[in-house]
Structure 1
Amino acid sequence: MEHLRMPSNFAEWEAIAKEFAIKWQFPNCLGALDGKHINFRPLRKDGAFYRNYKGTSSVILLALVDANCRMVFVDVGNNGRANDAGVLQQSRLKEILEKKHLPKSSLIGRGRNVPYVVVEDDAFPLQKHTMKPYPYHTKNKKKQIFNLRLSRARHVVEHAFGTLSNRFRVFLTTMNLKVDTVEKVTLACIAIHNFLLQTDNTYINTPLETASISNNPEVYTDVPYNPRKGEAEHIRQEFTEYFNEEGKL
């Protein structure tokens, strides 16, 4: 269970955010979120219940991954008919992000606080603590830069899923197991994945990058709320301005 344990206090969440800022230049980030379908062969009477949009039967693995590809939160077992956003709405992670009242912090060089967030793809909704990209067809240069920076931080979850599947080949097949056994196998593989990340330097090769980080003692104010845009959109705009100005690479 040690290797399936999620952060239990804000200091542990903050340590994850600092690593994202250093390695992937995305501050105030608590992790990269995504979902993965685990294919299996259900009982005939349950086949339609687990049928997903690809026409196969699966359960969904929802994972939050830190800057080193370690899975710090997992939710596995929702039927394949659900979408990633629906799984998030029913997960404990949503409660942690919304009800634990995580502190706010300023982006370096800017005078307004923004909440800690997780980064995700456009399958998820834009919310106060979950940042998704702008529509990819946008021609706005600032929005394009935001999308690039978000993608840069979010790739760790795709890397983690890819490593998990390549190391544990059972994920490349259709498991001929009962659904509760599929869940146990998935959790066991994730525990080993997290264990190997801590003990084997050759297990995964994630390029590291550095960025300067400093603490500014000034007093900050919250990002102002614009009811026409919505709070989440205004927070995304604050990140966008930061990536194009003070946090420009």
Structure 2
Amino acid sequence: MSELKNKKQFILICAGVILNEKMEKRRKRKWAKEWLLERTLHSDIYLVNKLKLTEPEDYKCYLRMKDEQFQELLSLVDPFIKKQDTLMRTAISSEQRLILTLRFLATGNDYSDLKFSSRISPQAIGKIVPETCLAIYNTLKKKYLKFPSSESDWKAIANGFKTNWDFENCLGAMDGKHVLITKPPNSGSYFYNYKGTFSVVLFAIVNANYEFIYVHEGTNGRISDGGVLRRTDFFEKLENHELHIPPPEKLQNSSFVCPYGFIGDEAFSLSENIWKPFPQSGISKEERIFNYRLSRARRIVENVFGILCLRFKMFQRPIKINLEHIDAAILACCALHNFLRAHSLDYITQKCVDREDFESGTLAPGNWRQEDEFLPLETQNPRRATNSAKDIRNKLKDYYNNEGKVSFQNKMCGFSEN
């Protein structure tokens, strides 16, 4: 009995020693690294405040916006990202959360890199960035990414294309681009695109003022332009005549009653409301001129994608965040593009976009083309066009070679003025 009693006492003593050691480790353990706890002294919020006072251009480069735009954005998203302090720790402020998110979008740096400038752990960044991106998109889309809902809305867009780009009855220029991502776990070839990388597709329609009017994000990278379009709610509503598009109207100085439509590249299927260029093989002079006129208006969407890539360098490398958070980051950039387009006169500079020289008949590419990392979608055989769709395109071709011609079109196409 005494031997058994001694064993029990020994076991209890050992258990007590182990428990004391664990408690001692807990007392010594820190809930955060010491240098992360110095956020109040060394985070990038102090750099931002210093730049605001001394170097406004560097401030703008750092956040991709001026201070007045940042403050307005902060006031909009604050109610959705603000956190309460606790007895254990002080919450990361809304200002810090927004600065961190804008730096991620502006640079595309990994969370493990951003922790050094923000003094925020990668685990916390992984929650803050998606949450703030979603708040940016949800607050801005109501005013700055509003989809047209009436005939008057659509006519305002059509008037912009007529005034700025000499193309009538156009409701928007559309295109799609691959956004590179790292391969999601257990995804196989689902996001594998024709260039051997992994991506999701951003489909967009833009107006004549370099602004998004519709974005659809998340289609896997294996899909072509036309395939992406058919997966959108926009296409479903277009097919079901639910977009409130204005009825056909006569073109200027013409008896041709033309429907309103959208313009795209060769990958889309030609229809009564979707117009694309003639095939290049065996093309006539009149068809070439029509292609130029359509391309001149459609080039707007290419420039918008290019500017997006130039301003938000997140798009210049594969995005290394969880798949479920990628949509929010991309949509936030689209909403910010429209927000900054509306509030900053120098957000798009003259050198940002493609520029035509009518005297020499040349096109000067925008400087975004030097840094554009968007991968165009693979062109596949589109669906066969109806005779009605072909007839509309032929009549548009005739119109832009006669009543609707402009003085510079021959020279820009390489033909003599005569």
Q: Are 2:266 and 1:122 equivalent residues in the alignment? A: yes
Counterpart for residue 58 of structure 1 = 199
Counterpart for residue 180 of structure 1 = 324
* C-alpha deviation, 1:67, in angstroms: 0.3
Counterpart for residue 416 of structure 2 = none
* C-alpha deviation, 1:128, in angstroms: 1.1
Aligned equivalents of 2:354, 2:185: Cα separation in 1: 45
Counterpart for residue 159 of structure 2 = 18
Q: Is the 8 A contact 1:47 1:57 kept in 2?
A: no
Counterpart for residue 236 of structure 1 = 393
Aligned equivalents of 1:136, 1:229: Cα separation in 2: 20
Q: Are 2:182 and 1:41 equivalent residues in the alignment? A: yes
Aligned equivalents of 1:139, 1:231: Cα separation in 2: 20
Aligned equivalents of 1:207, 1:160: Cα separation in 2: 11
RMSD of equivalent CA atoms: 1.8
TM superposition score normalised by structure 2 = 0.53
Question: Is the partner of 1:45 in helix, strand or coil?
Answer: coil
Q: Considering only CA atoms, is the larger Rg found in Structure 1 or Structure 2?
A: 2
Question: Is the partner of 2:203 in helix, strand or coil?
Answer: strand
Question: Is the partner of 1:51 in helix, strand or coil?
Answer: coil
Question: Is the partner of 1:46 in helix, strand or coil?
Answer: coil
Moved >3 Å (runs of 4+): 205-209
Q: Deviations over 1:118-158 (max 9, x none)?
A: 11100111111111100123331110100000110001000
Counterpart for residue 133 of structure 2 = none
Query: How many residues end up aligned between the 2 structures?
Result: 231
Residue identity opposite 2:269 in structure 1: P
Counterpart for residue 70 of structure 1 = 211
* C-alpha deviation, 1:232, in angstroms: 0.5
Q: Gaps spanning 5+ residues in structure 2: where?
A: 1-140, 357-384, 407-418
Question: Is the partner of 2:189 in helix, strand or coil?
Answer: helix
**Identity rate, percent:** 40
Moved more, 177-186 or 97-106: 97-106
Counterpart for residue 285 of structure 2 = 141
Residue identity opposite 1:40 in structure 2: I
Q: How does 1:95-174 map to 2 (within 5 A)?
A: 95-98=236-239, 99-100=241-242, 102=245, 103-174=247-318
Q: Deviations over 1:137-194 (max 9, x none)?
A: 3331110100000110001000000000000000010011122211100000000000
Structure whose residues are more often strand by fraction: 1
Structure whose residues are more often helix by fraction: 2
Aligned equivalents of 1:183, 1:192: Cα separation in 2: 14
Q: Is the 8 A contact 2:184 2:323 kept in 1?
A: no
Question: Is the partner of 2:282 in helix, strand or coil?
Answer: coil
Q: Is the 8 A contact 1:23 1:208 kept in 2?
A: no
Aligned equivalents of 2:355, 2:305: Cα separation in 1: 19
TM superposition score normalised by structure 1 = 0.88
The answer to which structure, 1 or 2, has the higher relative contact order (CA under 8 A, 6+ apart) is 1
